[in-house]
Structure 1
Amino acid sequence: MIRTFILQIPCHRRSERSFLKLQKYIPLCARCTGMLIGILMFPIYFYMTPSFLLAIILSFSAQIPLLIDGFTQKWKWRSSTNLLRVTTGLLSGNGMGLFIASSIIWITSKSIY
């Protein structure tokens, strides 16, 4: 069930950019693994979400390291490591989780009357 869910996630699944577990590669690259873990932590933000504007700023700021790492690697300015990929993925995923939680809180706080 979990493997089927993970295989639905769009990822290049390169083995040299994935983690090994019990002599098998995890079917997600290091960056996507970090993003998935970060996004799955979004329920925590329901208890400690800052103001909506600050949450939006933090959410988008958390994407900057991922973009820098991804593009400088794509342009072959430098090579990245799995530790850096999973770290930028965690930052990005937490930013997305914060965005999801703060958006839900903001939408549900608006009255319809």
Structure 2
Amino acid sequence: MNLFDFIGSAVCHQMAERSFIWGDLQSPVCARCTGIEAGLLFGTVFFLLAGRQKGNRPFSFGSSLLAGLSFLPIAVDGVGSYLGFWASNNLLRVVTGAMAGYGLPGLFLLAANFQPGQRNDSPIYARLWEQAGLLALTLVYGLLVWLGWLPYGTVAVITALGVICFYGGFVFLLLRLLAGKREWPFLRLSALGGLCLVCLMGGLVG
């Protein structure tokens, strides 16, 4: 088990038959998680670059609709294949994973920053095209992985960073709830906490 496999084990079953393969190398997570973790990373990077860490405004109707429709395919494919109605494949898995994963950072932000009874006017997505662009980027990435056009190293690094963002999102949410109106170095603490949780979960699984 290399470092990337260890990090991937913190979130995924890592079944070979559901994963992408490069010769003797297997992706650190399954195809579905490959899409999810990429979406988590791309969404997190977007919010950091756009300065939306304090975003708290509830989604518009269009954003809510797009978010709901994005999560629907992973639920349908997961439940349908589990019940034996059809056999899923890595293309379906990575596409449905990408559609769900890109939206998770925005949900983390809303859950962490929204203040009931207060003015919540800091946008998470300023415009619908930002959300749609993130979705498109993650879908394109998933298709490139499925086509075999991206090397193992690129996919492994993106996946590992996405796993850290996943756990870091939970740490960010917890810290925001604990801090109240106090200002803490949330980003640094979230990154450190996410890394620690990855090590903990990977160690427990291993």
What TM-score range do you get, normalising by the shorter chain? 0.7 to 0.9
C-alpha RMSD of the superposition: 2.9
Q: Match for 2:104 among 70, 89, 96?
A: 96
Match of 1:8 in 2: 10
Are residues 1:59 and 2:67 paired? Answer: yes
Amino acid at match of 1:30: A
Distance 1:42 1:101 in 2: 11
Contact 1:56 / 1:99 at 8 angstroms: preserved in 2?
no
Classify the secondary structure of the residue corresponding to 2:21. Answer: strand
Match of 2:81 in 1: 73
Shift of 1:53: 2.6
Count how many residue pairs are aligned between Structure 1 and Structure 2: 110
Deviations 1:31-72 (A, max 9, x none): 0111000111123145388x5233555434321110001000
Amino acid at match of 2:8: I
Contact 1:35 / 1:90 at 8 angstroms: preserved in 2?
yes
Match of 1:39 in 2: 40
- 1:3–1:34: structure 2 CA closer, same or farther, 3 Å change rule? same
Larger Rg: 2
Distance 1:45 1:103 in 2: 15
Unaligned runs of 5+ in 2: 121-180, 182-206
Distance 2:20 2:65 in 1: 31
TM-score under structure 1 length normalisation: 0.75
Unaligned runs of 5+ in 1: none
TM-score under structure 2 length normalisation: 0.45
Contact 1:31 / 1:85 at 8 angstroms: preserved in 2?
yes
Contact 2:18 / 2:30 at 8 angstroms: preserved in 1?
yes
Point out which structure has higher relative CO (alpha carbons under 8 A, 6+ apart): 1
Percent identical residues:
27
